[in-house]
């Protein structure tokens, strides 16, 4: 920071004011002054600029008490839109959100290809359609963020997506060359923990999000910021070794955590042992309800392995909130209690372990929230309304 740099301070103040308007949804100039400590003249000038830029709007709030009704400020939520995309194996999910984090529409399309050029073509066509659809508002479609189930480096190149066998793909540039929309690429575990913080746990500055759905990934928030590591690959915890002489892994090591805890692994074990060609989450729930011994045994083993990895992660990060995103644990009664019973080490310290309510939607929600944060150039966004998630 350069002391006395007026333009820089002006930018900081603008960012802080916007952040408070987003967080409070409706707030008066006087309340902003009280919360931020900025003087009223500064707020007045900045708000005038934001009104001019159509980023903020004024409303006179109705209330029953006698006296002057204050003019409230809120985000001009329909001035622009953001697009969150989850590029998953076999399907791509698209979600449009307005600038206040309200979901406007969601659409999932099935894909039966892993070929890069074919998926690229689908993404370009869809993004082009959304850009056209939202072109009439002031800022149009401001950004598309694509979550991928693989590693993404600091330049937003896809380093590796195992399920697609893609490596070193510049998906961002390949799309931006064809459509005039700002595109960003991010790992889905990072987007998921970002959504948890923005929508559910804004007070928690040290969070660990473990996604166990298809592969395994972790999103780490330390002091309120996403932790990405030197190259951008932090959180590849599926390849944490938990059994040194265990099964061989495609990564070249043996005994990696995901060989024991990825949900597809548990499904295939159950299908083989129960001799059933297909199993759904609901089937497993029903088998557990009648205490089927094989299902109970496989699930108990799964939970033991989950606990071993969590123990190691807790010792590494000492999180305040640890969020497990797992459809399989959701069908298991008292999963969290059982995990907590397994975490007996006196040095494993955390405040709370919870199962994610956001589930598979977490990544697109996080993508939209991150795009909004980028658009407003604010330090953080908080959308604390429960109804968004119902
Ligand atoms: Zn491995």
Same domain, 48 and 183: no
- β-partners of residue 113 are none
Residue 289's CATH number:
3.30.420.40
C-alpha 21 to ligand 1 mean position (Å): 45
CA 360 to ligand 1 centroid distance, Å: 23
**CA 275 – CA 290 distance, rounded (Å):** 18
Nearest to 194 by CA among 325, 77, 102: 325
C-alpha 28 – ligand 1 centre gap (Å): 53
Going by C-alpha positions, the residue among 236, 237, 154, 224 that lies closest to residue 193 is 224
Ligand 1 centroid to residue 75 C-alpha, Å: 45
Cα(343) to ligand 1 centroid in Å equals 24
Ligand 1 mean position, distance from CA 240 (Å):
7
Q: At which residue do the structure tokens 């590494």 appear? A: 316
Distance 236 CA to ligand 1 centre (A): 9
- Cross-strand partners of 357: none
Distances (CA, A) of 78 to 56, 93, 140: 10, 22, 9
Residue 257 CA to ligand 1 center (angstroms) comes to 7
Tell me, in angstroms, the distance from the centre of ligand 1 to residue 359's CA.
24
Note whether residue 244 is domain-resident.
yes
Give the Å distance between the CA of 328 and the centre of ligand 1. Answer: 21
Task: Tell me how far the alpha carbon of residue 310 lies from the centroid of ligand 1, in angstroms.
Answer: 17
Residue 69: CB atoms within 10 A of its CB come to 11
Same domain, 220 and 166: no
Predicted pLDDT at 236? 86
The answer to the question of residue 11 being in a domain is yes
Confidence at residue 390, expressed as pLDDT on a 0 to 100 scale: 45
Distance 348 CA to ligand 1 centre (A): 24
Cα 305 to middle of ligand 1, angstroms: 15
Q: H-type helices in the chain, by residue range?
A: 6-24, 29-36, 40-52, 116-133, 171-176, 188-195, 258-261, 263-274, 281-289, 293-317, 327-330, 335-342, 362-376
Q: Which of 75, 104, 119 is the last residue of a domain?
A: 75
pLDDT value of residue 215: 78
Going from the Cα of 189 to the center of ligand 1, the distance in angstroms, rounded, reads 17
d(CA 139, CA 77): 11
Regarding whether 84 and 69 lie in a shared domain, the answer is no
**What's the confidence (pLDDT) of residue 138?**
97
Looking at the domain assignment, is residue 299 inside a domain? yes
Q: What SS3 class is residue 282? A: helix
Q: For position 3, what pLDDT does the model report?
A: 59
- Taking 50 as the pLDDT cut, the residues of the chain under it are 388, 390
- Ligand 1 centroid–CA 243 distance in Å is 11
The number of distinct structural domains making up the chain is: 3
Same domain? 61 vs 117: no
Among 75, 104, 128, give the residue marking a domain's end. 75
Beta strand pairing call for 321-325 and 352-355: parallel
Give yes or no for a contact between 315 and 270, defined as CB atoms under 8 angstroms apart. Answer: no
Distance from C-alpha of 204 to C-alpha of 261, rounded to nearest angstrom? 26
Helices (H), ranges, 85-195: 116-133, 171-176, 188-195
DSSP-assigned beta bridge partners for residue 170: none
Report residue 66 as tokens: 């006698």
Euclidean distance between CA atoms 116 and 164, whole angstroms: 8
pLDDT in tens, 321-378: 999 999 999 999 999 999 999 998 877 788 999 999 999 899 999 999 999 999 999 9
Same domain, 122 and 169: yes
pLDDT, tens only, 108-149: 999 999 999 999 999 999 999 999 999 999 999 999 999 999
Structure token digits, residue 53: 């830029």
- Do 151 and 252 have their domain in common? no
CA of 253 to the centre of ligand 1 (A): 5
Sheet containing strand 56-60, edge to edge, reads: 27-28, 71-75, 56-60
Residue 21: closest CA among 51, 1, 64? 51
- Asked if 179 and 66 sit in the same domain, the reply is no
Distance from Cα 237 to the centre of ligand 1, integer Å: 9
Same domain, 226 and 348: yes
What's the CA-to-centroid distance between 262 and ligand 1, angstroms? Answer: 12
- Residue 332's domain comprises 204-358
Contact 331, 284 (CB under 8 A): yes
Report how far ligand 1's centroid is from the alpha carbon of 225 (Å): 27
């Amino acid at each position: 920071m350069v002391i006395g740099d007026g333009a820089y301070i002006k930018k900081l103040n603008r960012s802080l004011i916007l952040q408070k308007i987003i967080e409070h949804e409706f707030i008066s100039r006087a309340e902003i002054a009280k919360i931020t400590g900025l003087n009223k003249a500064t707020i007045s000038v900045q708000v005038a600029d934001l009104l001019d830029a159509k980023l903020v709007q004024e409303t006179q709030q109705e209330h029953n008490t006698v006296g002057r009704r204050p003019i409230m400020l809120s985000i001009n939520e329909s001035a622009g839109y953001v697009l969150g995309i989850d590029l998953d194996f076999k399907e791509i999910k698209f979600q449009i959100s307005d600038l206040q984090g309200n979901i406007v529409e969601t659409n999932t399309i099935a894909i039966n290809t892993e070929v890069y050029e074919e998926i690229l073509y689908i993404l370009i066509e869809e993004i082009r359609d959304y850009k056209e659809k939202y072109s009439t508002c002031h800022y149009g479609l401001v950004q598309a963020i694509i979550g991928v189930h693989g590693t993404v480096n600091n330049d937003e190149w896809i380093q590796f997506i195992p399920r697609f066998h893609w490596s070193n793909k510049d998906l961002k540039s390949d799309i931006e060359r064809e459509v005039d929309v700002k595109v960003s690429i991010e790992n889905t575990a990072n987007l998921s923990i970002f959504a948890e913080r923005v929508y559910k746990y804004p007070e928690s500055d040290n969070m660990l999000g473990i996604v166990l759905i298809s592969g395994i990934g972790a999103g780490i928030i330390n002091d309120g910021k996403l932790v990405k590591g030197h190259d951008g690959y932090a959180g590849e915890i599926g390849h944490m070794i938990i059994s040194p002489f265990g099964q061989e892994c495609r990564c070249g090591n043996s005994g990696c955590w995901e060989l024991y805890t990825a949900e597809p692994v548990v499904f295939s074990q159950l299908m083989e042992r129960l001799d059933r060609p297909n199993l759904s989450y609901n089937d497993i729930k029903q088998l557990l309800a009648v205490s089927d011994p094989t299902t109970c045994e496989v699930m108990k083993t799964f939970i033991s392995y989950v606990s071993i990895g969590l123990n190691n992660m807790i010792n590494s990060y000492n999180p305040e909130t640890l969020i497990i995103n797992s459809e399989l644990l959701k069908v298991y009664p008292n999963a969290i209690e059982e995990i907590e019973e397994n975490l007996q080490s006196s040095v494993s310290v955390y405040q709370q372990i919870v199962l994610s309510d956001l589930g598979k939607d977490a990544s697109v929600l996080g993508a939209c929230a991150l795009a909004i944060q980028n658009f407003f150039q604010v330090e953080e966004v908080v959308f604390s309304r429960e109804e968004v998630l119902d």
